[in-house]
Structure formats: C-alpha cells, structure tokens
Amino acid sequence: MAQVISDRRDIEFVMHEQLNAESLSKIHDGFADFTKKTIDLIISEAKNFAVKELLPANKDGDQQGCSLENGIVTTADSFKRLFELFNEGEWLAPTEDPEWGGQGMPRTVASAAAEYFNGANYPFMMYPGLTQGAGHLVEHFGTKEQKDLYLKNMYTGKWCGTMLLTEPEAGSDVGALTTKAVPNGDGTYAIVGEKIFISGGDHDLAENIIHPVLARIEGAPAGTKGISLFLVPKFRVNPDGSLGEFNDVICTGIEHKMGIHGNSTCSLSLGSKGNCIGTLLGEENKGMKAMFLMMNAARLLVGFQGFACATTAYMYALDYARNRIQGKDLMEIMNPDAKGVPIIRHPDVRRQLMMMKTYVEGMRSLLYFVHYCSDMAKFAESDEEKAKYQGFVEVLTPIAKGYVTDRAFEVCSQGMQVYGGYGFIEEYPMAQLLRDCRITLIYEGTNGIQAMDLLGRKLGLNKGKPIMDLFGEMQKTLAQAKEIDSIQGYAVKVEAVINKLAEVSIHMGQTAMSDKVLSAFANAHPFQDAAGDTVMAWMLLWRAVIAAQKLEKAKKKDKPFYQGIIKSKQVTGNTYGSTRHAGHALH
C-alpha cells in the first residue's frame, strides 16, 4: 500500500499561495509564532505521525473493531497506545486556548493536520475530535467550577468527551427526545433516558468520559424550546478533581456497522438504577442553541472526514495506476509484440483520475477556506469584517458538510473503479475507504438536512447579506481571471454559472416562502448540488488564477504542478453543465 495519503505540495499551495496563512500571525498576538517556517514544521510533524502511527493502526481498527463484554467496551489493541502518543504530541486540541491545554493554533493551520490525521485513520480520530468538541461546550457555556473540573483534563486527553443527542424515537427530530432531568434541590439533576448511535460513547482509552446530554427538565416547554444541556460524566468528579463513584451511565450495546469499525458506536442508558447525576451546562431551555456550537464544528469535521477519505483514495488510486501493468497502449493495440503498460496510460483511467484530482483539490481549498474564515471571524480588525467572514462560515457550512461528503463518496467509488476487481477486495484499501466514507453523508445531520438548512436558513440569513457577500468574493476572482489570457475563457463560463446560481437562489428563496414551499424543499438537495458545483468552480478558478500568475516565473520543477492546477480547471466543463442543468430544473 502506498504511504502517501495526501498531496503535500497542494496542501502548501492552499496554505501559503491561496490563503497566505502566515498573514494570520499579524492579526492576532496569539498567532504571532505561526510563521511560514512554523506552519511547514507543523505540517511535517502531522504527516510523520499520520503515516508512521495512525495509518498502520487503521486496518487493525477495521478488522478487530470494538467489543462489549461484561459491561466493558474495548477498542482495538493498537488504539490505546496510539491515543497516548497522540496526547503526548498535544494534538487533541490544537486550536484551543493554551491556558486549558490547547496550542492556540489557527484553524487554517490545523486544517492540514486534520487532513493527514483523518486520511490516515479517521475512525480513531473520532475519539479526540468529539472530545475537543465537548470541551468547546464546557469552555463556552460552563461555570468557572465546571471549567476548572473538566476542561484541562479533556483538552489534554486525560478524559474523553462525546455528544448525546439521538434517541430511539428522536433521531433528526431532536425536539421529540424524552430524556428527563429532575432537580435534586442542590443544583444537580437526576438524569433518566436512553441514547443511541453515540460515537465513542464508551471505551477504554481514557479513565473518564464526559457526556454533554440533551434532556428536558420536568415542566419545560415541548419541542426544542424546552431542551436543556447537561454535563454527565461516566464517573462523578469530586471537588478536588479526583474521580468518584460510577454515575449510572451504562453501555447497553455497540452497533455492528458497515464502516468505521474502529469507533465504538454505543447505546447508553442513563439513570436506569436511579443514580445518574448531571449539572446544567449553560441556561435552562437553551440546550439546542448551545449544542449547535458543537454541531456546526462537528459538521465541518465530518466534511473533513469525507474529504480525507477522498484524498487518500485519490493518492492510492494514482499510485496503483502508475504501477499496475494491464493491457497495451491504445496506440499500439494492433501491434502483437506490444507490451503491457501501466493503466495510467489508458484514457478512461486518466479520465477517472483527473476527475478525482479536480474534486479533491476543490474540496481542499473549500474546507481550508472555511477554517480561514473562522479565524478571520474571530480576529479580523473590524466588526464589519468579522461579520462578513462569519457569514461565509454560516453559508458554506452546509456545503462543506453536505456537498463535500456527497462528492467524496463519489471519489472513493471512482478510486475503487481504478483498482478494478482488486478494489472490491478487503485486502486492498479502497473497500474500507468506501465503507468508512459512507456514514459522512448521514451523521451530524443528513445531507438532505444540510440542503434544507442552506435553503431555509442560510439564503435569507441577515436579509441575504452573507450570500451576497459570497457572490461578491466570486466576482473578485472573476475580475482577476479575465485579465489572464490563458484562463479568460474559463472565467466567462464560471461567470455564467455564478449569475445563474444568483438568479436561482432568488427564485428558490421566494418559493420557499410561498404556498409552493413543499416544492421548494423537494428541490433543496438539487439546489445544494448546484450551489456546491458553483463554489467548487469558483475555488478551482481561484486556484487557476494563482497558478497562471506564477507559471511564467516558476522554477522548472514547479511548472508541472501549476500546469496541473490549470488543467484541473479545464475538466470542470461537466461541473458547469451540471450546475446549469440544475439551475434550469429548479427554475
């Protein structure tokens, strides 16, 4: 198996040439140390850890999986040591406050580490990923006492975290949950309920697991308006930080899944013996608002998970196609003495690889850009700038989760096709990548829900200003591209697509608020496809602008790379076509 799971050169292109991540060191004192040299060192360290430690354990996690015996959940043999090494490297909470055990790293820079780590072993990465997300909730909504008790232990990986939303009769409809919280009179609550599909809900990697739990206080309003958020540890935590008694959080089963076997997906029973204690996190009846902080971050993480499967699939397929000898060159097909050639010489294989390359590069730029916008939304100089970048994050999140994972699964499927019959065999990596990738289209809000969010909430957000600001950014790229002869033709095509999407967006927004609302939402997913295609076309054009500008003065060794970026732009004719068709269909 190839040991190359991501394209280091393209990561550097996005980081330094497209986004100029080093500029973040000048907008926030906490980022001052993140110069280009430091960023490149972080990328190298992440790559080394991913290839040397995470990747070898991936197959072990898939084949051995997790087990539940006598109430104890056990992970794959290699995962415990791996988790210790991961925490020693301080990789669990790289973007969080150093005061609580983080590294204060820009999200843009952490994107590169996330790509390598998730590409190498994303089922394992779910444990630290969920822990960081749960810790984020404590940091934002916790009392001083809760922060002091939990936060550093979570951000350093001594304790793990999860998120407990889903119930047997309340999946995507969170407002239908039945888990109850009864006040004990001392500021704590007795928690009683059942939760299912809890990723990392129980395991043997850490001495304690901290569960943010959605529940309804007795007498609270029905639906999501009456939901509160509670902190429920697996083992109670004493005031001095030591562990107390077991908190009546019992794993009643683990799911046997199509993929992500290395992650324990649990059913949990809370308070079945009447002895589960939780503390309120944030305000009463504001649990959903608080949980969305974690869910939005989790949706971006899921986008990265899907993308990481795709980039790994592409790198494996490219390596396989270069080395797999099969069939004659098409130009030598009538020559009886012609020898077999690597399958990368066959036009249809090249077509597949080129489409994989195009999607992977576009997805990388999009996901890194969203994290760049997160950094700017927090630390830009003016409130106006902060609001603009936060608007980009809001509008692009459903695309970064929904559209990206849809396309990532297609890329993994194409990778299997490049391998042919070997791709369908578990001995080779494509089968696992395809299986693992599939869940990314479902959890953290199905892609249909992402499409509804884009149409129902994000189009009209702040009276449409974020979406108009996004179109404004696209226009800036178009203006640059029109000044470059070699890509001027592409700019004209992308401009037509952007204009069509703007027209369709207005139509869809109006329809969603009319008596044809059901028709509008029936077309929400095609609309998300059209929006995603357009954003991808913009990202690829943006990349081509930079490549075209640098190509003339580029060193000889860099010229093929920049030419490859421009060629990626060339193959997006199908993208433009699908977007136009989607636009006409929706109109």
**Confidence class for position 567, pLDDT limits 50, 70, 90:** confident
Confidence at residue 563, expressed as pLDDT on a 0 to 100 scale = 93
Cα dihedral: 30, 33, 36, 38 (round 10)? -120
Report pLDDT for 169. 80
Question: Catalytic pick from 22, 115, 444, 495?
Answer: 444
How does pLDDT run across 517-557, given as a tens digit for each residue? 999 999 999 999 999 999 999 999 999 999 999 998 999 99
- A 10 A CB-CB count for 275 gives 15
Q: Provide the total of helices (H) and of strands (E) in the chain, helices listed first.
A: 19, 14
- Report the alpha-carbon distance of residue 148 to residue 137 in Å, rounded: 14
Averaged pLDDT for residues 114-122: 97
CA 428 → CA 411, 424, 544, distances in Å?
A: 16, 8, 34
Looking at the predicted structure, is the pLDDT value of residue 587 above 70? no
User: How high is the pLDDT of residue 3?
Assistant: 67
> Which residue type is seen at 427?
E
- Of the listed ranges 98-102, 385-389, 464-468, the one predicted with least confidence: 98-102
Give buried/exposed letters for 102-114 (b at 16+ CB in 10 A, else e).
Answer: bbbbbbbbbbbbb
Which pair of tokens denotes residue 20? 């100029």
The mean of the pLDDT values for the chain is 94
Mean pLDDT value across residues 124-128: 98
Give the Å distances, CA to CA, from 57 to 79, 124, 313, 479: 7, 9, 17, 47
With a cut of 60, say whether residue 584 has pLDDT above it: no
**Range in 38-52, 214-228, 504-518, 573-587 with the lowest mean pLDDT:** 573-587
Give the number of C-alpha atoms closer than 13 A to the C-alpha of residue 37, restricted to the C-beta side: 2
The reply to whether CATH 1.10.540.10 applies to domain 8-155 is yes
Q: How confident is the model at residue 293 (pLDDT cuts 50, 70, 90)?
A: confident
Q: What is the pTM of this model?
A: 0.95
With bands split at pLDDT 50, 70 and 90, how would you rate the model's confidence at 345? very high
Report, as an integer, the average pLDDT of 135-162. Answer: 96
pLDDT for 296 equals: 87
* Positions of E strands within 255-396: 265-270, 277-280, 325-328, 340-342
Contacts of 342 by beta carbon, 8 Å cutoff, 6+ apart: 321, 322, 323, 324, 325, 326
pLDDT of residue 586: 43
User: How far, CA to CA in Å, does 26 sit from each of 20, 30, 42, 113?
Assistant: 11, 9, 18, 22
The reported pLDDT for the residue numbered 577 is 44
Give the pLDDT mean for 169-186: 87
Residue 152 predicted with pLDDT over 60: yes
Domain residues of the chain, as ranges? Answer: 8-155, 160-285, 446-587
Residue 583 binned pLDDT confidence (cut-offs 50, 70, 90): very low
pLDDT score, position 430 = 97
Q: What is the rounded CA–CA span in Å between residue 17 and residue 546? A: 7
- Average pLDDT in the 267-277 region? 97
pLDDT surpasses 90 at 568: no
Q: What pLDDT was estimated at residue 176?
A: 83
- The 10s digit of each residue's pLDDT in 209-266 is 999 999 999 999 988 899 999 999 999 999 999 999 999 999 999 999 999 999 999 9
172 or 388, greater pLDDT? 388
**CATH 2.40.110.20 matches 160-285:** yes
pLDDT at 578: 45
Name the CA dihedral angle for 476, 477, 479, 484, rounded to a multiple of 10 degrees.
150
* Residue 126 scores a pLDDT above 80: yes
From the number of C-beta atoms within 10 Å of its C-beta (0-12, 13-18, 19+), residue 420 rates as middle
Q: Is 444 a catalytic residue?
A: yes
Average pLDDT over residues 64-78: 96
Q: What is the 3-state secondary structure (H, E, C) of 448-506?
A: HHHHHHHHHHHCCHHHHHHHHHHHHHHHHHHHHHHCCHHHHHHHHHHHHHHHHHHHHHH
pLDDT confidence of 572, banded at 50, 70, 90? low
